A and B are shown apart, each in its own frame.
Chain A
């Protein structure tokens, strides 16, 4: 079981980095497409896909 954990650790770390970076960016960014709190829920609750969707569609890119 510990080897499973060791193997899964990089995946969990990357997921975690994505989540944290997305959240920090969400706090710092002045405006997003759609309400901010909805993005916060999406980033935290939907793992991996949530931050990706935020980076692609959430940041205001015009």
Chain B
């Protein structure tokens, strides 16, 4: 526990110095806010830039706040996993390469506290940024459109947080197992590509971690099918725990690959 705390402090300092604590929340807020504002002023923007025919109605003025929030989360979904994977793909593998790992591994540190410090550091940054971004878009949606039930937003954020946890775990574990390039590619494949497959042929199954993004949006309008939803949550939590064990194992196994 003590080791974990010290390592987490080191991790936090790294995130501060690499400015991740600053730019990741800012970017997430930006993408959360942009969509509602853009949709609201679409007509003005179109009038300003293009010469629309007389009496042209795009039918976007009467969108509901739920639709706005849903499209914002859709937009958000594209950028979140990409930024998380790209900014944390080197979290363990770069230390093996830039000789930090040699300094760490000569000390009697357990690999689980090493891995968990990495995981917690990445999780804090990613999760807080996501929540701030979603809250910002909720705020703007309420200002520009109508009220959305607060519990729906809470359910959305909760479901989405689990997806973010999954992405972070996949990234950190891939980084523990492989060099940075391979880890990034693998994590992108496991989050983006599988999601693409899931959206194409995913109607044959209803339980998978990659469906969490869809379920999160479903909270806005109605409720997701509760048994499917909770099974997906359980499967995701199990997947996260398994990936953590694999990650600790990978960090230990790659000890021989460090540069001294």
Q: In the complex the two chains form, is B23's CB within 8 Å of A51's CB?
A: yes
Residues of A near B18 (CB, < 8 A) are 59, 61
Interface residues on B, range: 20 to 34
Q: Is the interface of B mostly helix, strand, loop or mixed?
A: helix
The reply on A27 being an interface residue by CB < 8 A is: no
When A11-B30, A62-B98 are in contact, do A56 and B90 touch as well, CB less than 8 Å?
A: no
The reply on B54 being an interface residue by CB < 8 A is: no
- Bound complex: CA A20 to CA B37 (Å): 24
Q: How many A-B residue pairs have CB under 8 A?
A: 50
Residues of A near B22 (CB, < 8 A) are 21
Q: Shortest Cβ distance from A21 into chain B, in angstroms?
A: 6
The reply on A17 being an interface residue by CB < 8 A is: yes
The reply on B94 being an interface residue by CB < 8 A is: yes
The reply on A48 being an interface residue by CB < 8 A is: yes
Q: In the complex the two chains form, is B41's CB within 8 Å of A25's CB?
A: no
Q: Which residue on chain B has the smallest CB distance to residue A48?
A: B30
- Bound complex: CA A17 to CA B22 (Å): 10
Question: Quick one: which of A47-62 are within 8 Å of B by CB?
Answer: 48, 51-52, 55-56, 59, 61-62
The reply on B87 being an interface residue by CB < 8 A is: yes
Q: Is the interface of A mostly helix, strand, loop or mixed?
A: helix
Q: In the complex the two chains form, is A61's CB within 8 Å of B90's CB?
A: yes
- Bound complex: CA A52 to CA B19 (Å): 11
The reply on A42 being an interface residue by CB < 8 A is: no
Residues of A near B19 (CB, < 8 A) are 21, 25, 55
Q: List 6 A-B contacts (CB under 8 A).
A: A4-B44, A11-B34, A18-B23, A18-B30, A52-B27, A61-B18
With A4-B44, A7-B37 already in contact, 9 other A-B pairs whose C-beta atoms are closer than 8 Å: A4-B41, A7-B144, A11-B37, A14-B26, A17-B26, A18-B23, A55-B87, A61-B18, A62-B90
The 6 A-B pairs of least Cβ separation, nearest first, read: A62-B98, A62-B97, A56-B86, A62-B94, A14-B30, A55-B23
